[in-house]
Structure 1
């Protein structure tokens, strides 16, 4: 009897767990799984996004991508942009977190709030602010100070426009990783620092062998988040340059938008999206596997 009672209790618990997770599963399926499958299907068609009629063309869109110079150039810019975004965000976030965690710094809560403000601002608003700053403020400042590098609008320079967008992105994106790294630093056992000091370790050695080891799991999370943000960057590019000058700052996100809504090549735009999704998934998986070997044991 006791055995049957335990089975009924387990069965009731499983049924309860199922109904609790069912709403989330339905929402996830409706807004992610189904659109993903539909997008995958449309990548094999020539649908223009409006017409009710379209043709299934197999892998023609994927074959076209291989020889599409516009896609290759856009992919190259997006990968370079993502690389500098990841490096910049991790570097500045760790640096600011170390400063805020310093025992000699007073007003920790105040400075944390100040550095977190950019994270709550609209991306388009940030983009417009930096666009006006590049167009008006910096050239005027450069002319008054006699600095030739600042005397012209960097957004008109194909080689520098991308860095203008990148700076705005890093300024906004550093806030949340900074908080994550600050929380991770609080979990580093103080005994390890004391032992390192007794052994005569310098600050750089303590950071390399103690601090950095405990930051690796957080770095892994930030890496994936910024990789996704970099490969999917759209708001900053549209707000600051629109993909110019001469397509020098066209990202994958803006390319997909223009293909779908300006050129009415919806099927082809979805194909680009599928490739980017697979690239993000593959890179994230490799990165997680590599960092798992270096994570500090919880024990």
Structure 2
């Protein structure tokens, strides 16, 4: 009798999850399988006719200097984005977790950029860089500000990075504040009695409790850096001189502008594998980590 009731309960629960499962298959699994198939073709994206060419696209990609440069840009950008986001977010979370006046107001201000569209943010900062930076350079005479950073092959990536950090640190700050509030105050009091310094408490108490949140922030930043598209599209479109052409922009250009849809899908598959490997490696490194490890 109990077994029958348990079976009926499981069937009912499965029916509740069935719509979500169907939507996941329709909007993720099916496109993924179709993309894998198209990556082995020479489809232009518009023509009804195409040929299966095997792994020709993948061979061409690994010998494509433009793809290697775009991938190298993604790696550099991801490293800088991840490191800066984690440091800045943690520092601001520690400050905003203190008992300061108008703490709620400051938290709201720092979270405000997160509710804005990525493209909107890119367009706003695009105007700031083209109008404000030269004005600062004209007023101060500083060579670094004589012209817009977005027009410099050496500085364009850092300009995009600043904008990404301005918006991208909002959510990690909220997550880290929540993590900090989960740390028992008794541990800090006991550590103070034992003569622990602020650094000792931060290293031995705060960081271990923040490991799950830090891991989430790390994976999110890596994924965001490797798939960056919106900011670049809105601000530089991969220029100047392809200095900010990420893999995402390259995939878009090959598919939409150059009619190499099968080739671009193969590039996206390679990017998918890279993100998956990085995510799995990160999760495995942090898996089983406990407070005090």
Which TM-score band applies after superposition, normalised by the shorter structure? over 0.9
- 1:50 corresponds to 2:41: no
Q: In the alignment, what sits opposite 1:296?
A: 291
State the Cα deviation string for residues 128-163 of structure 1 (Å, max 9, x = none): 111111111111112202222112211121111000
- For residues 143-222 of structure 1, the aligned pairs below 5 Å read 143-222=138-217
The two structures have a TM-score, normalised by structure 2, of 0.97
| Cα displacement (A) at 1:245 | 0.5
State the Cα deviation string for residues 84-123 of structure 1 (Å, max 9, x = none): 11111111111111011112x1222111111010000111
Choose the corresponding residue for 2:120, options 122, 125, 132: 125
User: Partners of 1:160 and 1:295 in 2: how far apart?
Assistant: 41
State the Cα deviation string for residues 39-74 of structure 1 (Å, max 9, x = none): 011011110101111111111111111110000000
User: Partners of 2:194 and 2:11 in 1: how far apart?
Assistant: 57
Does the CA contact (< 8 Å) of 2:204 and 2:292 recur in 1? no
Choose the corresponding residue for 1:282, options 271, 277, 286: 277
Structure 2 unaligned spans of 5+: none
User: Partners of 1:102 and 1:273 in 2: how far apart?
Assistant: 44
| Cα displacement (A) at 1:17 | 1.1
User: Partners of 2:145 and 2:201 in 1: how far apart?
Assistant: 39
State the Cα deviation string for residues 248-271 of structure 1 (Å, max 9, x = none): 000111111000000010001000
Give 3-state SS (helix, strand or coil) of 1:243's partner: coil
Q: RMSD across aligned C-alpha pairs, in angstroms?
A: 1.3
| Cα displacement (A) at 1:294 | 3.4
State the Cα deviation string for residues 165-203 of structure 1 (Å, max 9, x = none): 010001001001100000000011112111221222221
- For residues 3-18 of structure 1, the aligned pairs below 5 Å read 5-18=1-14
| Cα displacement (A) at 1:25 | 0.4
- 1:63 corresponds to 2:59: yes
- For residues 238-249 of structure 1, the aligned pairs below 5 Å read 238-249=233-244
Q: In the alignment, what sits opposite 1:272?
A: 267
Give 3-state SS (helix, strand or coil) of 2:24's partner: helix
User: Partners of 2:227 and 2:41 in 1: how far apart?
Assistant: 23
| Cα displacement (A) at 1:297 | 6.9
Runs of 4+ with deviation above 3 angstroms: none
Aligned residues: 293
- 1:137 corresponds to 2:137: no
